[in-house]
Chain A
Amino acid sequence: MNRKENLVMEKGSRMSFVLNNKPISLHVDPSKRLVDILRNNLQLTGTKISCEIGRCGACMVLIDGKAQNSCLTMAFQCEGKHVETIEGISENNVDPIQEAFLEEGGFQCGYCTPGMVISLKALLNENTDPSMDDLKEGLTGNLCRCTGYGGIHRVLQRFCATEECNK
């Protein structure tokens, strides 16, 4: 294989990654932001856009199971990885995390909610017995302007494994 070709990805290079458990291959600019690929190329608009500098969490996705801001992630950084969006999580059924948001009033306008769900999902992937502090720490990258985190605290109580939460 010609080394040079392997080395440099031109505009409109073919990018391959796994999106919501399905392999996908796209012609995109390798520096294109993942959030734009999802929203504009693929119409997966459950991933939201708000601050564009990773400070609000509205665009959160899972990359290889870990939370990552899709506004800070470029196409080439997804190559060969597993990307999961809110649509992927919602594919089969409402996840227990989503159920908790519904039942506890964990959202109002809903614009931050997909990102919140993703971040909590990522945390619970890694930590099966989280304390309330672990759970809150897991959501520090997600801003909510509507709820004042009241309903979100009630959501977290449900996933908290320590004694403080078993009142």
Chain B
Amino acid sequence: MNNFDLILRNVTQRKMRTGLTVFGIALGIFAIMVMGGMSEYFSRHADRGLDLMSDKIYIVPESGFFGGGLVDSMVSKVRRIPGVFDAYGLLWMPYDMESLGMFGAFVVGIAPEKQELTLKEIKITQGRLLVPGDRYRAVVGSNVARQYGLNVGDELEIKSKKVQRASTITTARNFTVVGAMEFTSTDFDYMIIIPLDLAKKFYDLDDQLTYIWAVPEEGVDAEDLSRRIELGVENIKTFSPQELRKQSEQMLMVMNLITISAAVLAAIIGGLSVMNTMLMSVSERTREFGLMKAMGAEVRDILLLTMGESALMGILGGVIGIAGGSIFIYFMNDYLATMGTVLFAVTYRLMAVSLVFATFLGTVSGILPAYRAARMRPMEAMKYG
């Protein structure tokens, strides 16, 4: 029996109640979209970042990322390990020298000839990559370009700090933008790539490096090579692509757990509001359900009517929540991009999960009220009210 028109009628006739319930669900789904959007962004960010690094072994100083201690000579040592196709160092400095360097743009020193190995399939949307011989030239990531309104030919001021005895000397130089990268949803969006040699000089770091990439030869097991590099070169720590992925997944899992559980909690509260509404609606319509049974309605007819109603409210709430969340994320990303960052990603997966969850929530919340309505004895129901 197709009773969708009856379901629709009941939902639309009780506008205030439906509106409030749908709003409750929509809020929950909005929370799922926003929190989930954040999770999606971070997992995409990590995934894409890992994809770009999946063919390399990541080498950091044994004392940690910020401990310093990698020098040029180590690159040669790594390169000499059998199975290493190539190795090169990078210098990684925060763009804003006053910041902690955890967020925002980074200045990355890369040897021009190693750019393609590092950037892989990332496209240049404007201009070109660095070429050997370039000096105060830079290639910028999409978020950097957006934040500072940079186009090819524009100048970008980069500062470095030097501590000399009791004073700090800040040097500022203008770098000409020669290229801009596409949006990748990875750390590359935050990069200002400058020539490595110049970077060392500019930051007065002599032969220091932040980390080293080692590219294994074809057919060489990266795990095994990673261990051999760690054993063969002193004072370093290596991370194979698998280890990087594992670490990243663990971090993401914790983050997803926090964001998703907060969002699910919000959505469950929305679900309880549907249950409350439906219980009220069923008790108000006791006589109506009794009458339907007296007319020969089957238990499944009543179940379908009541659960259909709550499912419809769930779907409505879901659609509104998804739309609201997507609009919020769109404007939020737009706003954040002007500050050089992006925090959310709306994916079809997120939208589908949100809609399925909203429908599920609506339907499940309707089970108890529907059961109550369906089990009503017509005689008692007709006497009621």
**Do A and B actually bind?**
no
Binding site for B on A (CB under 8 A): none
Binding site for A on B (CB under 8 A): none
